[in-house]
Chains A and B, each alone.
Chain A
Amino acid sequence: MNRKARSIMSKLLTNIVIIVIGFAMLYPVLWLFSASFKVPNTIFGDAGLIPKAFTWDNYAKGWKGIGIYSFGTFFKNSFVISLLCVAANALFCSLTAYAFARLDFVGKKVWFAVMLVTMMLPGHVTTIPRYVLFNTFGWINTFLPFVVPRILATDAFFIFLLVQFIRGLPRELDESAVMDGCNKLTVYWRILMPLTVPALITTVLFTFLWTWDDFFNQLLYLTRPELFTVPLGLRLFLDSSGISSWGSLFAMSVLSLIPCFVLFLSLQKYFVRGIATTGIKG
């Protein structure tokens, strides 16, 4: 066998290995997807991926939810919280990042170092006092405990990501804008903000993903069913329904994964860039 043929063979083998392992990894998700279309009493005995009898019933039944609250309510709440957090993070993290990357002020180095330290801080030490604080404000069972911390730019990871990105942009751009009479706010809003879009997309994606999946905080702050989000709705469903409704539970689980999945598939390269540049966890 000549060298070329050998290299083709080895490439083919690599591809096969990757596909086989990849399929094994995706199997649980594929099974979930297929189970959501199976007739409930055939779900558990069947490890196959193609439903023998296909039904939409699980979706119809699941969507009705528990009691008077349908999954429509839970999805609406999840979307409202996630979109508010996304908007707040995109705006306020980038404002902060602009200050760190481009403006000069007394104490900048110290504040920047402090910001980096907060990035490494495990969330648990602030969880209880924040809960006590928000409780005294009467913010339990509102969306404020999720949105206000984003308005106050507490997700230092995104500030860091945006600072790195802005530092890579040529300074001549904002210097010439200042020469033309732009003030700091217009430089940020008209010059830098539009150029930061790739990093902003990464910020938006991860904020959405983390907020959508943030079971812990939602469990703490939302106790009234009409305010429940999708993760809380799924948990309620899991606890209050018997064996008979696994099909519906799976159907709603599939629906709950779709927003993240669609975002990921459509904006994949921003995900990869975000992980590769800052190492944030997906």
Chain B
Amino acid sequence: MSNANYRKRKLKDNLSSYAFLLPWLVGFFALTVYPMIYSLYLSFTQYSITAPPIWVGLQNYRVMFFGTERIPRDERFLNSLAVTFRFVFISVPLKLAFALLVAMIMNRKLRLIGLYRAVYYIPTLLGGSVAIAVLWRRLFAGDGIINIILRGIGWANPPSWISNPDYALSTLIILAVWQFGSPMIIFLAGLQNIPKEYYEASSIDGAGRVRQFFSITLPGLSPIILFNFIMQMTSGFQAFTQAFIISGGNGGPLDSTMFYSLYLYLKGWGFSEMGYASAMAWVLLVIIASLTAIAFKVSGGLVSYGSGE
């Protein structure tokens, strides 16, 4: 009798707990699980939203990388992949290097540290907006302020950055690097956790600044560097707004700023090829997952998590 009562109470307790979880559970199944399965299905179809999807097997994936008998390889896709890789693997290391450098300069007892941290975070705070992208487009135009400054310091004929296919991507890289605030704050917190005694002891042993950086600072920060790298890489692959606004929505000039997300958007909503766009989304997921796995694997020997942690 009391056992049955206990079970009843236990069940009631479970049910009332699940009531709190209900919104999230519904969201998880309706807006994550179901969409993922559905987009995997769509990736094997031709689908324009106005008509039911038509099964085409692996065609979308084959067109992306190899082409089929009837459809040539999608060079624009491969180009967007190359542009995005270039963007991510130039901007992320630069961004992290700047973030670390500035964090190290700031890592001492400064009275105005709060103000400095805020000032350096402002580009990150505002940088994702359309407003800043609009500003960037003007700053780096042929007759823009950047070129006025460059001419002022003696570069007679600077390129017109935005409209030159060789340089357009570099303006987006600069914009991304400019927003180094988040990793900087994370590095700053990490630096403050490295015991001061390590530096004191090593300087008694005669280690210089450079030596200390490589044998104390870098190993001490290694888990944080890995974390920052993965976070920035993941968001770098999904960058959209800046390329859209700066290129006027077409990834130009000559597809030189055609980010992966931008091409996915154009395919899905511009050309109504939702099946193809779904396949692209899955390829991106696989790329990000593999790169994350590789980052963990490669860093396995390099990252030290300290003792007792």
Contacts and interface: CB of A to CB of B under 8 A. Distances in A.
B189 interface: yes
Contact of A235 (B20, B136, B245): B245
Given A238-B245, A282-B124, A124 B23 contact: no
The residue among B30, B31, B38, B240 with the most chain A CB atoms within 10 A of its own CB is: B31
Interface in B31-62: 31-32, 34-36, 38-39, 42, 49
Interface in A63-93: 92
Interface string B181-200: 11001100100000000000
A31 to B, nearest CB: 6
Contacts of A31: 135, 139, 145
Interface in A176-220: 183-184, 188, 209, 212-213, 215-216, 219-220
Contacts of B28: 114-115, 118, 152, 154
A256 B131 contact: yes
B13 to A, nearest CB: 8
A132 B275 CA distance: 12
A133 to B, nearest CB: 7
A122 B106 contact: no
A98 B227 CA distance: 26
Contact of B189 (A111, A151, A268, A276): A276
Given A120-B234, A128-B42, A153-B24, A213 B16 contact: no
Nearest to A238: B134
A144 interface: no
Interface residues of B, number: 91
Contact of B134 (A11, A184, A249, A260): A249
A5 interface: no
Interface string B1-39: 000000000000110111011011111101110111011
A113 interface: no
A105 to B, nearest CB: 4
- Is chain B's binding surface mostly helix, strand, loop or mixed? helix
Given A17-B105, A279-B231, A96 B23 contact: yes
Interface residues of A, number: 87
Interface stretch (A21-29, A52-60, A166-174): A21-29
Interface string A2-16: 000000000100110
B24 A215 contact: no
Interface in B131-170: 131-132, 134-136, 138-139, 143-145, 148-149, 152
B119 A235 contact: no
Interface of B: 13-14, 16-18, 20-21, 23-28, 30-32, 34-36, 38-39, 42, 49, 102, 105-106, 108, 110, 112, 114, 116-126, 128-132, 134-136, 138-139, 143-145, 148-149, 152, 178, 181-182, 185-186, 189, 227-228, 231-232, 234-235, 237-238, 240-241, 244-245, 248, 261, 264-265, 268-269, 274, 277-278, 280-282, 284-285, 288, 292
Interface of A: 11, 14-15, 17-18, 21-22, 25-26, 28-29, 31-32, 44-45, 47, 92, 95-96, 98-100, 103-106, 111, 114-115, 118, 120-130, 132-133, 135, 149, 151-154, 159, 183-184, 188, 209, 212-213, 215-216, 219-220, 230-231, 234-235, 238-239, 246, 249-250, 252-254, 256-257, 260-261, 264-265, 268, 271-272, 275-276, 279-282
